[in-house]
């Protein structure tokens, strides 16, 4: 307990000034008690119980003490008392680093197999993986461009390494001085007065040495990593010619000397890092050692929340008798929130188009359930060519072929050239030609299997597309129709009609069965040609699953056509920036 009190600290000690209000509160209470004593001096004793609130001075002092204690505890809680501390190692990031990488055609020289470019990218990947602190990437040829601005997440820079190639640059050339100036601008924009600039190039000129001196005068340190070998090699330029390129180490060393940094060759491998960035590899380890030696940072935990329950308990004791129940009762008397109810499904407050759409949906459900007469009745009188087309399909399923022709004609009048209506009308006409309707009072002949099979083989009896098998709104409704017999039983002849005048209902059933078989055959043919075709014509109610599947397939097909060019964005950005700098763009 003594140790805890000795370690007690306040995270917000300014709140302790509020304790000065305690004497003021006590004086105010004493003044109120003096006013109550005035009544006792001027009122008769037998009238005091009826005029003055009962309660002795002792009870009043207890109430005052409770209130003052609650106030003091609340102030202590707001001050943030803390008696438990933890040690945390604080890491301080090093100086920001801007890497300026050459991307001229000379980077294709194979003196560092397989090429300078691939070796430089691999070395940069290892550097970014181990670097602590801000890092940025600049590439240059005839001009310098920013690949990634200063960021504390080196992974955001590493993702661009595989796309770096000489063909990203708008104009080929070699001006490392512009890269140093550009890197210096990045440091200034990020608000860093000091930083490191790492130039990766195979040669330098006097302008580069001057740029390194300017950077050093502004607080930046310029180091150089030489790309290539002194013997050099030849590379194939963009025009197809062979050009020699070699490492000019003396010129690069002059740049490093002017910039106050170090120089190393990429051929040295991992050891080049310590030379061009002195102290960078050990900065983090040194910081860890110093933190352990000094005990690290001291983190104080705020324990003020432990005083909150005590404050709440004291405040409850200071409540007036019955006041809490009165407040709760008042809360219960609050009126509930009013919410307007929306119209029901069957109310007459829907618009005409909403009612028509509801009837279209009801007819679609009836069609799927095989209640074709009910579906025809629901679709009858609805506006639009889709309703007439769906009604024709329902009539054809029900065996009422003449009325189906009239419905298809109505759909074609409302929308001339509707392909599905034309195809289904041709199918119904072919069925009527094979089995014309009987005259008045005459029996309707039921066709035998041979005639049916022959009609199915004729061009007029060929099944149209899947629109014949389903209404507009759900071509797939044909899937809900009863499946027909297999190939073996389909060739069997229908039973002969009974003797006498014939059973009219049996003839109608046979005609409906033949029509159903033709429509199902059309649906099977369409499924064989192209499965999953979107043919819904229900207004504003597409098949969600089918539409989503088609959209996903379309996106995948489009993505397969997109060329795989990870550097396309950088190439376009560099070109626009080059045009802007040249005055040819905005």
SS3 273: helix
- Per cent of the chain over pLDDT 70 is 62
Higher pLDDT, 565 or 76: 76
Residues 46, 52, 58, 63, Cα dihedral to 10°: 160
Task: Determine the pLDDT at residue 307.
Answer: 86
State whether 110 and 140 are in the same domain: yes
331 in a domain, yes or no? no
- Predicted confidence (pLDDT) per residue in 549-560, tens digit: 777 777 777 666
The C-alpha angle with vertex 271 and arms to 270 and 274, in degrees rounded to 5, equals: 110
**In the predicted structure, residue 522 carries a pLDDT above the cut 60:** no
State whether 414 and 518 are in the same domain: yes
Question: How large is the average pLDDT for residues 376-385?
Answer: 87
State whether 276 and 370 are in the same domain: no
Structure tokens given for 282: 């050990």
Q: Nearest-CA neighbor of 394 among 420, 425, 409, 373?
A: 373
Task: Determine the pLDDT at residue 468.
Answer: 41
Structure tokens given for 446: 């039921």
Structure tokens given for 359: 């009837």
Verdict on whether the full-model pTM lies above 0.75: no
Alpha-carbon radius of gyration of the chain:
46
**In the predicted structure, residue 174 carries a pLDDT above the cut 50:** yes
552 in a domain, yes or no? no
State whether 133 and 232 are in the same domain: yes
Q: From the CB of residue 469, how many other CB atoms can be counted at a distance below 10 Å?
A: 29
Question: How large is the average pLDDT for residues 499-503?
Answer: 43
Task: Determine the pLDDT at residue 482.
Answer: 35
176 in a domain, yes or no? yes
**In the predicted structure, residue 407 carries a pLDDT above the cut 60:** yes
Q: Lowest-confidence range among 218-227, 347-356, 496-505?
A: 496-505
Strands 135-140 and 144-151: antiparallel
**In the predicted structure, residue 186 carries a pLDDT above the cut 80:** yes
Task: Determine the pLDDT at residue 529.
Answer: 45
The DSSP symbol for 174 reads -
What are the residues whose beta carbons fall under 8 Å from the beta carbon of 310, sequence distance 6 or more? 73
**φ/ψ (deg, to 5) at 231:** -70, -30
Higher pLDDT, 260 or 132: 260
425 in a domain, yes or no? yes
Structure tokens given for 329: 């009762």
**In the predicted structure, residue 132 carries a pLDDT above the cut 90:** no
CB 214 within 8 A of CB 115: no
Domain span at residue 409? 352-487+506-529
**In the predicted structure, residue 390 carries a pLDDT above the cut 80:** yes
Q: Which residues pair with 86 in a beta bridge?
A: 299
State whether 70 and 170 are in the same domain: no
Task: Determine the pLDDT at residue 180.
Answer: 96
Question: How large is the average pLDDT for residues 55-68?
Answer: 67
pLDDT classification of 368: cutoffs 50, 70, 90:
confident
Task: Determine the pLDDT at residue 456.
Answer: 36
173 in a domain, yes or no? yes
* Total tally of structural domains belonging to the chain: 3
Distances (CA, A) of 446 to 289, 404, 442, 504: 101, 20, 13, 10
**φ/ψ (deg, to 5) at 234:** -105, 145
DSSP secondary structure string for all residues of 563-578: ---TTHHHHHHHHHHH
Task: Determine the pLDDT at residue 304.
Answer: 82
The C-alpha angle with vertex 233 and arms to 266 and 565, in degrees rounded to 5, equals: 70
Task: Determine the pLDDT at residue 432.
Answer: 82
Task: Determine the pLDDT at residue 423.
Answer: 86
- The beta-strand segments (E) located in 63-129 are 81-82, 85-88, 97-102
Which of residues 252, 276, 292 is at a domain's end? Answer: 292
Question: How large is the average pLDDT for residues 484-505?
Answer: 40
- The runs of H, that is alpha helices, within 417-543 are 419-434, 449-457, 487-490, 504-529
Which of residues 292, 316, 342 is at a domain's end? Answer: 292
State whether 30 and 116 are in the same domain: no
Q: In whole angstroms, what separates CA 274 from the centre of its chain?
A: 42
559 in a domain, yes or no? no
State whether 78 and 158 are in the same domain: no
Q: In whole angstroms, what separates CA 69 from the centre of its chain?
A: 53
Q: Nearest-CA neighbor of 445 among 360, 362, 503, 521?
A: 503
Q: Lowest-confidence range among 69-78, 140-149, 212-221?
A: 69-78
Most confident of 50-54, 356-360, 445-449, 582-586: 356-360
Question: How large is the average pLDDT for residues 116-123?
Answer: 94
State whether 247 and 214 are in the same domain: yes
**φ/ψ (deg, to 5) at 143:** -140, 170
Question: How large is the average pLDDT for residues 380-403?
Answer: 87
Residues 253, 259, 260, 263, Cα dihedral to 10°: -30
Q: In whole angstroms, what separates CA 225 from the centre of its chain?
A: 41
Question: Dihedral sign, CA of 427, 428, 433, 435?
Answer: positive
Q: In whole angstroms, what separates CA 312 from the centre of its chain?
A: 45
Which of residues 265, 292, 319 is at a domain's end? Answer: 292
**In the predicted structure, residue 281 carries a pLDDT above the cut 50:** no
State whether 241 and 376 are in the same domain: no
Q: How far apart are the first and last CA of the chain?
A: 72
How far apart CA 95 and CA 162 sit, in angstroms, is: 26
Q: Nearest-CA neighbor of 103 among 564, 571, 569?
A: 571
State whether 40 and 110 are in the same domain: no
The DSSP symbol for 190 reads T
Higher pLDDT, 148 or 487: 148
Q: Nearest-CA neighbor of 478 among 359, 370, 348?
A: 370
Average pLDDT value over all residues in the chain: 74
What are the residues whose beta carbons fall under 8 Å from the beta carbon of 410, sequence distance 6 or more? 388, 392
**In the predicted structure, residue 47 carries a pLDDT above the cut 50:** yes
Q: Which residues pair with 198 in a beta bridge?
A: 99, 223
Structure tokens given for 535: 């043919």
Residues 446, 447, 452, 453, Cα dihedral to 10°: 130
**In the predicted structure, residue 448 carries a pLDDT above the cut 90:** no
- The beta-strand segments (E) located in 141-241 are 144-151, 195-201, 220-226, 233-236
Task: Determine the pLDDT at residue 332.
Answer: 57
How far apart CA 446 and CA 10 sit, in angstroms, is: 102
**In the predicted structure, residue 513 carries a pLDDT above the cut 60:** yes
Question: Dihedral sign, CA of 465, 471, 472, 476?
Answer: negative
Question: How large is the average pLDDT for residues 480-494?
Answer: 36
Q: Nearest-CA neighbor of 244 among 102, 101, 110?
A: 110
How far apart CA 497 and CA 488 sit, in angstroms, is: 22
CB 536 within 8 A of CB 473: yes
Task: Determine the pLDDT at residue 207.
Answer: 96
**In the predicted structure, residue 574 carries a pLDDT above the cut 80:** yes
SS3 65: helix
State whether 36 and 63 are in the same domain: yes
CB 16 within 8 A of CB 75: yes
Higher pLDDT, 215 or 496: 215
State whether 478 and 382 are in the same domain: yes
Task: Determine the pLDDT at residue 438.
Answer: 53
How far apart CA 399 and CA 393 sit, in angstroms, is: 10
The DSSP symbol for 142 reads S
CATH number of the domain enclosing 192: 3.40.50.410
**In the predicted structure, residue 527 carries a pLDDT above the cut 80:** no
Q: From the CB of residue 238, how many other CB atoms can be counted at a distance below 10 Å?
A: 10
273 in a domain, yes or no? yes
Question: How large is the average pLDDT for residues 426-440?
Answer: 71
12 in a domain, yes or no? yes
């Amino acid at each position: 307990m003594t140790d805890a009190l000795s370690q007690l600290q306040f995270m917000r000690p300014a709140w302790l000034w509020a304790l000065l209000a305690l004497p003021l509160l006590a004086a105010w209470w004493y003044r109120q008690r003096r006013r109550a004593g005035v009544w006792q001096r001027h009122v008769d004793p037998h009238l005091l119980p009826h005029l003055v609130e009962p309660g002795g001075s002792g009870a009043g002092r207890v109430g005052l003490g409770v209130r003052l204690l609650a106030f003091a505890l609340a102030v202590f809680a707001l001050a943030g008392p803390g008696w438990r501390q933890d040690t945390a190692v604080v890491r301080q990031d090093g100086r920001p680093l801007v890497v300026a990488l050459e991307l001229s055609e000379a980077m294709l020289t194979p003196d560092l197999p397989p090429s300078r470019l691939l070796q430089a990218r691999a070395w940069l990947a290892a550097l970014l993986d181990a670097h602590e602190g801000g890092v940025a990437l600049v590439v240059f040829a005839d001009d310098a461009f920013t690949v990634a601005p200063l960021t504390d997440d080196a992974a955001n820079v590493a993702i661009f390494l595989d796309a770096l190639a000489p063909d990203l640059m708008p104009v080929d050339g070699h001006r490392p001085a512009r890269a140093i100036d550009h890197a210096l601008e990045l440091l200034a924009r990020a608000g860093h007065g000091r930083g490191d600039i790492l130039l990766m190039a195979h040669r330098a000129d006097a302008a580069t040495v001057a740029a390194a001196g300017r950077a050093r005068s502004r607080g930046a340190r310029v180091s150089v990593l030489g790309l290539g070998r002194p013997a050099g090699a030849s590379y194939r330029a963009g025009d197809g010619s062979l050009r020699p390129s070699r490492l000019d180490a003396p010129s690069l060393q002059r740049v490093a000397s002017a910039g106050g940094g170090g120089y190393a060759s990429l051929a040295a491998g991992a050891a080049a890092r310590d030379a061009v960035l002195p102290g960078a590899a050990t900065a983090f380890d040194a910081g860890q050692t110093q933190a352990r030696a000094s005990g690290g940072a001291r983190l104080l935990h705020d324990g003020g929340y432990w005083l909150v329950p005590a404050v709440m308990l004291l405040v409850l004791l200071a409540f007036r008798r019955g006041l809490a129940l009165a407040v709760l009762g008042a809360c219960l008397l609050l009126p509930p929130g009013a919410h307007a109810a929306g119209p029901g499904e069957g109310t007459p407050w829907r618009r005409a188009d909403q009612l028509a759409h509801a009837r279209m949906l009801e007819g679609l459900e009836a069609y799927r359930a095989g209640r074709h007469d009910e579906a025809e009745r629901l679709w009858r009188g609805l506006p639009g060519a889709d309703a007439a087309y769906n009604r024709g399909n329902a009539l054809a399923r029900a065996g009422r072929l003449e009325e189906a022709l009239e419905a298809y004609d109505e759909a074609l009048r409302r929308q001339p050239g509707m392909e599905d209506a034309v195809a289904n009308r041709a199918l119904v006409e072919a069925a009527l030609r094979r089995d014309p309707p009987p005259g008045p009072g005459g029996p309707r002949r039921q066709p035998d299997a041979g005639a049916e099979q022959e009609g199915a083989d004729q061009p007029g009896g060929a099944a149209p597309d899947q629109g014949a098998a389903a209404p507009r709104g759900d071509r797939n409704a044909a899937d809900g129709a009863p499946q027909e017999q297999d190939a073996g039983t389909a060739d069997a002849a229908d039973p002969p009609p009974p003797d006498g005048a014939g059973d009219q209902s049996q003839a109608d059933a046979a005609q409906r069965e033949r029509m159903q078989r033709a429509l199902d055959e059309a649906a099977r043919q369409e499924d064989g040609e192209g499965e999953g075709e979107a043919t819904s014509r229900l207004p504003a109610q597409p098949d969600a699953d089918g539409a989503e599947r088609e959209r996903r397939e379309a996106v995948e097909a489009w993505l397969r056509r997109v060329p795989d060019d990870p550097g396309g964005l950088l190439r376009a950005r560099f070109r626009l920036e080059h045009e802007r700098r040249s005055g040819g763009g905005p």
